[in-house]
Structure 1
């Protein structure tokens, strides 16, 4: 099996005996983020997890209990309400070969950029107007670095790490997004997990979510299986 750099993947034993593998990596420091632990084995408030993953309060609370996370549940918004205007290599060839790219972000009130990764680039966010709450999950002990940022502030997301942003102010929030590659790649976690044709029973096994929750998220995000 070959797993490309930075792309979410999984394995499980479908046989009736122990299974063993040799795993070879293209780096001496590949890093590791086990999604379930990264999402739920941390101190990020449950309301933030609900908002950025589209999961129900009860499910988040249950999974935080399973994986040893902390945080008090709160209200959520299931609407992304975000608009991104990119200048990436596929749409803006002028950045080819420069090792950089840029985008413009607009977040309506309660707008969310769901938890996601960029396998090929680090990201710098410069807040132009409004208030943006943002954070990323470190691959070391699933520590969450979370800050509220205002006009003129910077946010830095290391390459490949799960991160998120949402508008936590009372007005439209805008930001300039700068990336260290013209081909950064993006995986929006809820869509990557549930807007696909992976059978629900496999989703349940690899995400630890209940059958009803998986089916709800597949329906919301138009997955099949």
Structure 2
């Protein structure tokens, strides 16, 4: 019994450790304003910290989310645009484990299937109607919902998810993420547009596609 108890304790500690490593670490100070000048800074959580005596209110301030992003330019083939406010944009977010995004959609615009490797996303619709969803790990079950103004939906950390404007007018949503730098991997871009490209034979077998289709997709996404 003693051996079983010890193994159970080790298993619980390992589980706790895995949960802890899945999110941004908790800060051990009031703030750590990110700074690129390493001469008078301390390295914390991937960024250098500004001398606290030099911190000002503007280090915690960002203006611009009231303005809709461009969703209609020729280079934008999906009809959506994400304005992300992470630690690279707002230095005061460093070590605080949170970020924010504004999502703009033209009519029938799509935020393509993607993942945030370091953050869970909580989305609220401000205008329009969105079809949203995420897919679980094996078995790959889809959870999907149509959201109207004021509705909220959560996308668990690391799972493939999407948002699609199913209305004929523009849509706007805001998202909060529990990471100062949640990251984003857009599935199609990563698979068909990586640099250097993935060996076409891998993609042909993985997706059961003809070589010509794979070459076309790689050309399209590499050019983007």
TM-score range, shorter chain: 0.5 to 0.7
Residue segments in structure 2 that go unaligned for 5+ positions in a row: 1-16, 20-75
Could you tell me the TM-score, scaled by structure 2's length? 0.63
The Cα offsets for residues 109-146 of structure 1, whole Å up to 9 and x where unpaired, read as 11111101111000011000001100000114211001
- The CA deviation at 1:91 is 2.0
Partner of 1:193: 191
Partner of 1:143: 141
User: How many residues of Structure 1 are paired with residues of Structure 2 in the alignment?
Assistant: 151
Q: CA RMSD in A?
A: 2.2
Partner of 1:158: 156
- Is 1:211 aligned to residue 211 of structure 2? yes
Native 8 Å contact 1:130 1:151 kept in 2: yes
Residue segments in structure 1 that go unaligned for 5+ positions in a row: 1-25, 29-77
Partner of 1:176: 174
The Cα offsets for residues 87-124 of structure 1, whole Å up to 9 and x where unpaired, read as 01122212111111001110101111110111100001
With 204-213 and 116-125 compared, the bigger mean Cα shift is at: 204-213
**DSSP-derived class of the 2:222 partner:** coil
**DSSP-derived class of the 1:119 partner:** coil
Distance (Å, rounded) in 2 between the aligned partners of 1:132 and 1:125: 11
Could you tell me the TM-score, scaled by structure 1's length? 0.63
Distance (Å, rounded) in 2 between the aligned partners of 1:199 and 1:110: 33
**DSSP-derived class of the 1:127 partner:** strand
Native 8 Å contact 1:125 1:175 kept in 2: yes
